[in-house]
Amino acid sequence: MLANLDRAQFIELLRKLGDEEDETVLTAARDIHAQMTVAGVDWDDLLVPEHPDEPEEDDEDYEDDADLDDDEQDDDLDDEDDQDDDLDDEDDEDERALTDEEKAEALSLITRLLDKGVSADTKEELEEYKQDIDEGEFAAMDLRYLRALHKRLAP
């Protein structure tokens, strides 16, 4: 299991922001924030620009490269390659299988979260996490999400 944003689930959480019950709204808002944090995205990544035909800031960087000589352009490309390598390393770490100690931590966090009286949707998600752990489909990024969720809900 990967802790990427699930579009349908994310939209369902957004719909809950209009609920009459404050607890439901607060839980949905916190779940949205936690999922975005774990996925490494912010609102700028999720929302479409008002005028999509206009060039974005990143596009302007390439226009500026026309003024650079070949050596300077090569240096910029090398920097981008280094950043891509760092992202690949992060992806590998995110998808890394858990150690036995981390599995025990994840199960402990799930138990503590269930004991806190979380929403029915969150309970269902936590029960699915238990299955994922048993099946070896629970990765390091999922554990980070559990830690963030527990920290947010801790008294």
Nearest to 14 by CA among 46, 39, 37: 46
In a domain, 91, yes or no: no
Confidence of residue 111 (pLDDT cuts 50, 70, 90): very high
What is the enclosing helix (H) or strand (E) of 30? helix 22-39
Q: Domain tally for the chain?
A: 1
Averaged confidence pLDDT in the chain: 76
pLDDT at 10: 85
Amino acid identity of residue 48, one-letter, is V
Band of pLDDT at residue 142, cut at 50, 70 and 90: confident
> Is the residue at 104 inside a domain?
yes
Q: Does the pTM of the predicted model rise above 0.75?
A: no
The reply to whether 127 falls in a domain is yes
The pLDDT tens digits of the residues spanning 76-106 come to: 555 555 555 554 555 566 677 788 899 999 9
Q: Does any domain span residue 71? A: no
**Does some domain include residue 50?**
no
What is the domain extent for residue 142? 7-45+96-153
Helix axes 120-134, 100-115, angle to 10 degrees: 160
Tokens 């650079």 locate to 68
For every residue of 38-56, DSSP letters joined together read HHT--HHHHSPPSSTTSPP
Whether 37 is in a domain gets the answer yes
Residue 108 in any domain: the answer is yes
pLDDT reported for residue 87: 46
Q: pLDDT tens digit string along 50-65?
A: 665 555 555 444 445 5
Domain membership flag for residue 59: no
